[in-house]
Structure 1
């Protein structure tokens, strides 16, 4: 075969290969334009009549969500979101009915928040969250809340600083002011050793007049998948200390022998749970190490004096101990739900003993003795080295 014939053969094979490859290019046959989608930003689940569930969704209005001046909180223009609802025996059935009155295909990929109404939470949530973990579209990173009253009322809030209530709840979760729980973490708690869970409690605020906002105000406590009670935000801090999840904390107290308050801001903290079984008694020791800054000093104490600082550190440790013990007593005696992770600690250190009591852990948990050992360190006294507005001769420990 001469050179010309060889080149022709090669070109023919290349042409044939290119034509063959085009058969495997499927193209965008299943594409959906963004203009054809109804983007779900937040989801509400409420108890409906006849054992049905009410599904409410907060849908973004793309034109209004585009930003621009005057769009904050939906004031000065069109509302950035709308709320639609439907009922059904399951979430998917309710979604199908919802789709009948929404002109665009409902898309769950942008859902950031799942809010569960109080009544539904008390009856049980396990069968309802199955949809969000089984369906391929919803995010497992969505934050989960329990709402006082109905979840749909939370979705309808139009805030001043953000474009939607979905953004408010997401940012509150990211700040970790209280509990911050994703859908994935909720499922892990429900299938864990204790099958107890804790979710942030959110409320609609109606102050000042004619204004509405949202506030995380404590924690909803679940035993298995049913809500058994609620703890306030102060007690929630104790839960976060024990779970080693404390990120933001303000502690204020009046030092002994002084007039006025001192406020501390948490820098960082670490908690270690140490289980022990001895003579048939189950005990947990929580070792807490915390570092704090002084952010306000109303007393006449000079916080540059090492002896004074050492004494205040001891009092700060006692304040932390008291808060945690108050939380333990309330949860053990009134709710009997291990939301602290004690069961996991015993399971890791004493697997054989744990296997004998795991089926009766609800009865064993309230009997566990809890000892708190805190070590607090004041790292910085603040920008001022001495109390402000006080004559120098009145400052103590200068």
Structure 2
């Protein structure tokens, strides 16, 4: 009995080190919490990878940020690999790097053209990196995009995240997580795509540039100068400074394998959403059926896309069927669109606009030989033997394959008012 007790006591003593708690714990104030990671490629250099880390200022984590300063600190490093670049960036940090809260992976255009496999391999292997972080491609350098001042959120990473969530209401781009990109890239007969983040001048500045110097008078310039001086005084106007460039989520980056093929802008980016069945919500503009010089706006409410491989006499083609429903949002004419015959004309006009977008986008994708729709994947599922015959040359086969597109559109509702507002004068 005594021996048994001694044996139990010995076992307990030996196992005590295993219950020592969080032996490797680090206090949160000692962590450099990364919220966004940017990757750029500098061709012709021995250390071509430039990594930019957007780190949340430690004082921003506390309830009372008494430290002041910007909410985001930018650290950068270069290296022969992503790991070495991050290691160089940490040499000037006084805290322990923590990647588990990085929700945005921003890849520069040159880095995307060089190939993203190396960066994705780093994300997969690193135990802190998140596979459910959002992957974006930016025109130009990711380092520059992360240097911009936030406008409505507390940090630049939160600004980009908010843009991602609000972009679902416009359906002009599609931003997916890293694991979805990896799944697309590793699927035979399908090429991946990612959302595109652009850095652009504010709309007012773009309009002024389009007007030109000859169209501006001296009085207008003086008024603009006074307005700019007034806007620079208050703290609230500082955050929305019109002179600063802004982020915009528009366009889709299409890849051939792991290398960027092109960044498609609107409306080709929306055409990809129609082709892939990922169109959620968005406003379509069609010509008025009675007065074509006027515009009718239709809100897309529901969309279903079906892609079917068709094989005849050993030759394959594809049929894409789109069924969509929408609501009448507004019109600029006085046409009575509550009549069934006018609604039917509007349905045909909407279907025509959608089909035109899809066909234009399809032609561009075939020129780039990038199958982001997954036609090869669907052929492999339905007719695996036929796909294996063309698998090694699928990009070339995709570029010349025949695709038959059919669109059916139905406008279900005309809003709270069935007739347009008339001016009786």
1:206 Cα deviation from its structure 2 partner: 2.8
Give 1:87's aligned residue. Answer: 78
CA contact (8 A) 2:287 2:349 kept: no
- Match of 1:233, SS state, is coil
User: Quick one: which of 371, 380, 394 aligns to 1:338?
Assistant: 371
What is the distance in 1 between the residues matched to 2:262 and 2:86? Answer: 30
Task: Say if 2:38 and 2:142, in contact at 8 Å, map to a contact too.
Answer: yes
Q: Is the 1:159–1:212 contact (alpha carbons within 8 Å) kept by the matching residues of 2?
A: no
Q: Which residue of 1 aligns with 2:355?
A: 321
Pick from 370, 379, 382: which aligns with 2:415? 382
What residue number does 1:3 align with?
Answer: none
Task: Tell whether the 8 Å contact from 2:289 to 2:342 is kept in structure 1 after alignment.
Answer: no
3-state secondary structure, aligned to 1:290: strand
Report how far residue 364 of structure 1 moved.
0.4
What secondary structure sits across from 1:136 in the alignment?
coil
- In the TM superposition, residue 65 of structure 1 has moved relative to its aligned partner by 5.1
Partner of 2:28: 34
- Aligned partner of 1:170 in structure 2 is 161
Distance across 1 between alignment mates of 2:243 and 2:335: 45
Match of residue 186 from structure 1 = 181
Residue 134 to residue 23, structure 1, CA distance change in 2 (3 Å): closer
- Find the residue that maps to 2:279 and give its secondary structure: coil
Deviation, structure 1 residue 136: 0.8
Deviations 1:80-123 (A, max 9, x none): 10111011111111112222211111101000111111111111
1:254 paired with 2:254, answer: no
**Residue 113 of structure 1 contacts residue 170 of structure 1 at CA under 8 Å; is this kept in 2?**
yes
Q: How many residues align?
A: 376
Which residue in 2 is equivalent to 1:6?
A: none
Residues 1:269 and 2:303 aligned together: yes
The correspondence for 2:151, drawn from 152, 155, 160, is 160
Give the distance between the partners of 2:26 and 2:64, measured in 1 at CA: 27
> Which residue of 135, 154, 160 maps to 1:144?
135
Please report the TM-score for the alignment, with normalisation by the length of structure 2. 0.83
**Alignment partners' CA distance in 2, 1:19 and 1:187:** 46
Which residue in the other structure is 1:53 paired with? 49
Offset from partner CA, 1:20-58 (integer Å, 9 cap, x none): 575642222211110111000000111132252011100
Superposed displacement of residue 248, structure 1? 2.5
Query: What is residue 261 of structure 2 aligned with on the other side?
Result: 228
Q: Give the distance between the partners of 2:96 and 2:253, measured in 1 at CA.
A: 34
Task: Determine if contact 1:154/1:165 at 8 Å carries over to the other structure.
Answer: no
> How far apart in 1 are the matches of 2:11 and 2:258?
58
1:211 counterpart residue number: 244
**What is the match of residue 330 of structure 2?**
296
Which whole-Å CA distance do the structure 2 matches of 1:185 and 1:173 have between them? 15
Query: 1:246 and 1:221 mapped to 2: Cα distance?
Result: 17
Q: Structure 1's 212 and 80: CA in aligned 2 closer, same or farther, altered over 3 A?
A: same
Check whether the contact 1:43–1:57 (CA below 8 A) recurs between aligned residues.
yes
Alpha-carbon distance in structure 2 between the residues aligned to 1:97 and 1:253 = 54
TM-score normalised to structure 1 length: 0.88
1:120 maps to which residue? 111
For the structure 1 residues 308 and 158, does the alpha-carbon distance in structure 2 shift closer, same or farther, using more than 3 Å as the test? same
The structural deviation recorded for 1:238 is 0.8
Report the alpha carbon displacement of residue 64 of structure 1 after superposing the two structures with TM.
3.0
Show CA shifts across 1:278-309 (max 9, x none): 13432111111111111111122223222211
Report if aligned partners of 1:302, 1:387 keep a CA contact under 8 Å in 2: yes
Whether the 8 Å CA contact 2:32–2:58 is kept in 1: the answer is no
Assess if the C-alpha contact under 8 Å between 1:286 and 1:372 holds in 2.
yes
Partner SS, residue 111 of structure 2: helix
- Give the unaligned 5+ runs of structure 1: 1-8
Distance 1:194 1:19, change over 3 A: closer
2:304 is equivalent to residue 310 of structure 1: no
Residues 311 and 67 of structure 1: is their aligned pair in 2 closer, same or farther, counting only changes over 3 Å? farther
Alpha-carbon RMSD across the aligned residues, in angstroms, is 2.5
Provide the rounded CA distance (Å) in 1 between the counterparts of 2:90 and 2:142: 20
